[in-house]
Amino acid sequence: MTGAEIIVQVLADEKVETIFGYSGGAILPTFDAVFRFNDQHRRADGKSPIPLIVPANEQGAGFMAAGYARASGQVGVAMVTSGPGATNMVTPVRDSMADSVPMVVICGQVPTHAIGTDAFQEAPVAAIMGAVSKHVFLVTDAGRLEATLRTAFELARTGRPGPVVVDIPKDVQNYEGTFAGHGQLPLTGYRHRLQAVVENKLTDEACERFFTMLAESERPLIYAGGGVINANATRDMRHLASDYGIPVTTTLMALGASDTTHPLSLHMLGMHGTAFANYAVEDCDFLIAIGARFDDRVAGDPARFAPNAKNIAHFDVDVSEVSKVKSVNWHHVGVLKRDLADLLAFGKRIRFNKQFSKWHEHIAELKHKHAMNYDRDSELIQPYAVIEEINRLAGGEAIITTGVGQHQMWAAQYFDFKGPRLWLTSGSMGTMGFGLPAAIGAQFAQPSRLVIDIDGDGSMRMNIGELETATTYGLPVKVVVLNNYGDGMVRQWQKLYYKGRMSGSDKSLHRKDFVKAAQADGFEFATKLDRKENLPQTIKAFIEFDGPAFLEIIIDPDAGVYPMVGPGLSYDQMITGDWIESRVAPSDDQPGTSEMF
């Protein structure tokens, strides 16, 4: 086989079902091999076994692969050429690294003899990507190509998942050699550390200490992070919560790990978490962190986070996260799904039983008294009302993707998620332009699922070219643009902390006709909603349209995201706005200008 044919055969062996990629000179041999493989192995229905999806931009390919991975739990695959093709992938790779998303990125590279000569479309991919990925390989020995690719998939999906980049010179793609059908690189250190985690099972003594803390507790609370979803441990975490009556709050990345419609679900905590979730964190006496990392959006002031917790337990797969931000007095680093199952089995064996009825009553009161709310009598269209109406039709079963900004937080706050992998957003990196390509990737991963991209006018501009990708492939994605004519989240901060100086956020970019743009890209359903009374029927028609649909909604430009906990502040300094009841007087403490975001 040629090196290019080996690449494609390894993808087939790894059960890759979709490639997202953009062509170019240095990757042409592999693109040709993909074409020939699909032609030779075409299915009875005429479909390709590994379709190659072409975006408008390489960044779109990266976010499509990430959306595919997040929605399916499988490794997403992107394939791009050298130079600008590879550098356009940097942001998606870093985004996936920050959110622990398994992805393999295959980059073409100039021939090995030309590396370092500033050849046409050359970029130092290994140097660039090494800083933002889980690992990067530069394949200069063609005989190691097959083993390298298999190892890349192993690295991407095992341990704490992440993106792996394989940089393959053109001459390596053109080389001819024997396909072994097996083999991986040694990676002795990595596999040794991974094996140590796999072998680190919960002991009876550790389980006994955990249940002793639970027995001593009157107000236990589960704080679940994205690791629960990455580990496919949602069911076991839910059993822990339901078997012992422990309320659950989740991070932005873990929405759906707990069914948000359940009485003991507190939805999301943190900077823009629900007021009742943050108050529950304030009140709990035993915090159980599962696959979460106490990041700054959750624990802005670590010393004052969960101030009444006498004990904190932490489950994770990454030992570096334990006590990194917040000291804990019980932890376990291992395979999360197995460890939670073992913990539950121990609890049944000792017949642990304790009622937390008073705590449940307190939780119900918090949810009632500090419920999410907004100005329902406003004559302007409120973004919260838009999402509530879409949520009523979606019923917590749709895949929701977002860009980044106010619309992202409104979607997180007001949508329900009955299961995992329904909420896809750029968390740690906060990358505008993520929503649309991620929705496309998710629709390929879950073709029968309703997929809705909730976007802002700023985020939509970032990757607006991918509208055509959706219609080209006939994907029934639903795209919502909440248009407040500017960068709303930045404006909100400028109003709060910069005396209303709208530097660069109250854009003069008001000329875009989003509806005409969508129509030009092939959307048969493309309309603008600017009258409140038309909201229910327009959204119903939009959701029920058979095919890709685009809806621009002109919203109240002064609508804000509340609650809000300023960076570096504790939950007792939370700003709840005019429509959500606070239980404390507003604090005078404000972050300085250097602490924005």
Q: Measuring CA to CA, which residue among 272, 275, 239, 274 is closest to residue 257?
A: 239
Tokens of 495: 């109003």
Q: Which residues pair with 79 in a beta bridge?
A: 21, 106
> Rounded to an integer, what distance in angstroms lies between the CA atom of residue 330 and that of residue 314?
6
Q: How far apart are CA 488 and CA 571, in angstroms?
A: 23
For the chain, give the longest Cα–Cα distance: 72
E strand or H helix that includes residue 282: helix 275-283
- Does 58 qualify as catalytic in the annotation? yes
List the structure tokens of 103.
């992805």
Residues 6+ apart with CB under 8 A from 117: none
Q: Which two tokens stand for residue 486?
A: 């500017």
Closest of 293, 298, 330 to residue 160, by C-alpha = 293
Among 14, 97, 122, 170, which one carries the catalytic annotation?
Answer: 170
The answer to whether residues 260 and 268 touch, using CB atoms and an 8 Å cutoff, is no
Q: What is the DSSP string of 2-46?
A: BHHHHHHHHHHHTT---EEE---GGGHHHHHHHHHHHHHT--TTS
What Cα–Cα distance (Å) separates residue 350 from each residue in 60, 208, 313, 315, 402?
52, 9, 20, 21, 45
Q: What distance in Å separates the CA atoms of residue 564 and residue 134, rounded to the nearest whole number? A: 32
Cβ neighbours around 593 below 10 Å, total: 9
Given 58, 282, 321, 466, the catalytic residue:
58
Contact between 139 and 172 (Cβ < 8 Å)? yes
Q: Which of 9, 121, 446, 590 is catalytic?
A: 121
Instruction: Please give the DSSP secondary-structure letter assigned to residue 195.
Output: H
Active-site residue, 120 included: yes
Place of tokens 């093709």: 85
Burial class (CB in 10 A: 0-12, 13-18, 19+), 340: buried
Residue from 489, 492, 542, 573 carrying the catalytic annotation: 489
d(CA 173, CA 55): 23
DSSP-derived secondary structure for 323-379: TSSS--SEEEES-HHHHHHHHHHHHHHTT-----HHHHHHHHHHHHHT-----TT-S
Is residue 121 part of the annotated active site? The answer reads yes
**CA nearest neighbour of 402 among 374, 431, 429, 372:** 431
- Catalytic amino acids? 58, 120-121, 170, 489
